[in-house]
Amino acid sequence: MTRHRPRSRRRLLPSLLLCSAAALALTGCGPDPDEPWSGPYVNATAYPHFDFGTEAAGQSHTVLGFVVADPEEPCTPSWGGYYGLDEAETTLRMEEQIAALRESGGDVVVSFGGAAGSELATACSDPDALFEAYRTVLDRYEVPVVDFDIEYDDLEDQDANRRRAEVLERLQEERDEPLETWVTLPVAPHGLDQDSVEVVAQLLAAGADLAGVNLMTMNYSESRPAGQSMVAASEEAARSAHGQLTALWDAAGQDLSEEQVWNRIGLTPMIGVNDVAGEIVDPAAAGELNDFAREQGLGRLSFWSLNRDRPCTAEHGDPAEANDFCSGLEEETGEFTRVLSRGLED
C-alpha cells in the first residue's frame, strides 16, 4: 500500500484478553480475533525510522507493512526489500517494538505485499520454499493475524495467486492456533475488478479460511464520478463489494447472511491528501467512515498510514502533495487515529 499510484479501478467493541504484561510480550496474547477491530498501517521501513512501538500504543492492532521478497533471493522474506529479518531486528528494532505494543495490550498484523517490491508468491515459484518463507515470518513474530496486500503486477499474476492460496491453506492447517487472514485489494465505487475477484475465488477454492477482504478505499481516479465525495465513493464501493463477496462465498459453498458478509469486509482509506489530485479525506470524512463501519458491522477499519497522522512542517515540502510523513492537512497529531478507532477500541 506504499504510496499508491492512481488506478481506475454493530456496534461491537473489541475486547482484550485478560493477560499479564509478561504474557503479552511472550505469547502475543491480546485482542480477541473474532471481534471487529481498528488498526492503522505503519510504513515500517520509512526513513527516518518510525517509532511505532510508542506511536501505536493503545491500538488493539497495528498493521506492519510490508514483507516482500528479497530482490536477490526471491524465496527469502525481507522488510520492504531493504532489510532481512535479522537486520530488521537491529536497524528497525522490530522485535523490541512489537514487544512494546504487546505490553500495552495490543498486537501486530504482518502485511505481505504492498505496491512496491514483489510479494513472495510472485517472486518464489517453489511452493515448499514459499511455505517456509511465510512460516519463518509468522513464527518469528508469533503473528495471530496476517494481511496480504495484493496490487499491480502481483494482482495480475494468476500462477502466484494460486500458489499463495494453496500455501496459505497449508499454513493454516499446520498451526495449533487459528491464523486470522485478510486479503487487501483495490476497489472502485463499482466494486472489485476481475483480477481481485479471482484472488478471492482462488483463496476460497484452495480451502483457505478467509477472515475477510479489506478494501483500499482510496485513489479512485476516474472511477469516481465527478462531484462524488470520497465518503460516498467508499460507501458505494463497500456496498458493491458486499454483493460480489456474497456471491463468491456462496459459490464456495458458504451460505453467509448479509450481516456475516459485512463482518468479513474491511475499509482502509488514505488519510489526508491522497495520491490522486482532488482526493482528500479529512477528519470529518474519517468520522463518517467510522460511523458507516460501525453501523454496517464491518470486521475491520484501518488507514494508511500512522506515519502520516500529523500536520506537515516546512521540511516535508508542499502539503498539497501526498507525503509519506504527514497528512497535508491542519490536524492535531493522532487525530485520524482517534476518529477512526472510535467505538472500535476500548
Count: domains in the chain = 1
Is 79:94 a contact under the CB 8 Å cutoff? yes
pLDDT tens, position by position, 113-149: 999 999 999 999 999 999 999 999 999 999 999 999 9
Is pLDDT above 60 for 10?
A: no
Output the nine-digit C-alpha cell for 236.
458505494
Cis peptide before 48 (omega within 30 of 0): yes
106 in a domain, yes or no? yes
Confidence of residue 34 (pLDDT cuts 50, 70, 90): low
12 in a domain, yes or no? no
CATH code, 194 = 3.20.20.80
| Arithmetic mean of pLDDT over the chain | 91
4 in a domain, yes or no? no
Give the whole-angstrom CA distance, residue 230 versus residue 64.
25
13 in a domain, yes or no? no
293 in a domain, yes or no? yes
6 in a domain, yes or no? no
- Please list the residues that pair with 42 across neighbouring strands: 64
3 in a domain, yes or no? no
Residue 35 has a pLDDT of 85
Rounded to 10 degrees, the C-alpha dihedral 217/80/179/130 comes to 120
Q: What angle do CA 48, 51, 57 make, to 5 degrees?
A: 155
Domain hosting residue 72, numbered range: 21-341
Q: For 18-27, 122-131, 173-182, which range has the lowest pLDDT when averaged over its residues? A: 18-27
Neighbouring CB atoms inside 10 A of 181's CB total 19
144 in a domain, yes or no? yes
pLDDT tens, position by position, 295-338: 999 999 999 999 999 999 998 988 899 999 999 999 999 999 99
pTM of the model as a whole: 0.91
Is 158:198 a contact under the CB 8 Å cutoff? yes
pLDDT tens, position by position, 155-167: 999 999 999 999 9
Residue 4 has a pLDDT of 38
Is pLDDT above 60 for 13?
A: no
Q: For 3-17, 18-32, 242-256, which range has the lowest pLDDT when averaged over its residues? A: 3-17
Confidence of residue 345 (pLDDT cuts 50, 70, 90): low
Is 166:125 a contact under the CB 8 Å cutoff? no
Give the whole-angstrom CA distance, residue 110 versus residue 133.
13
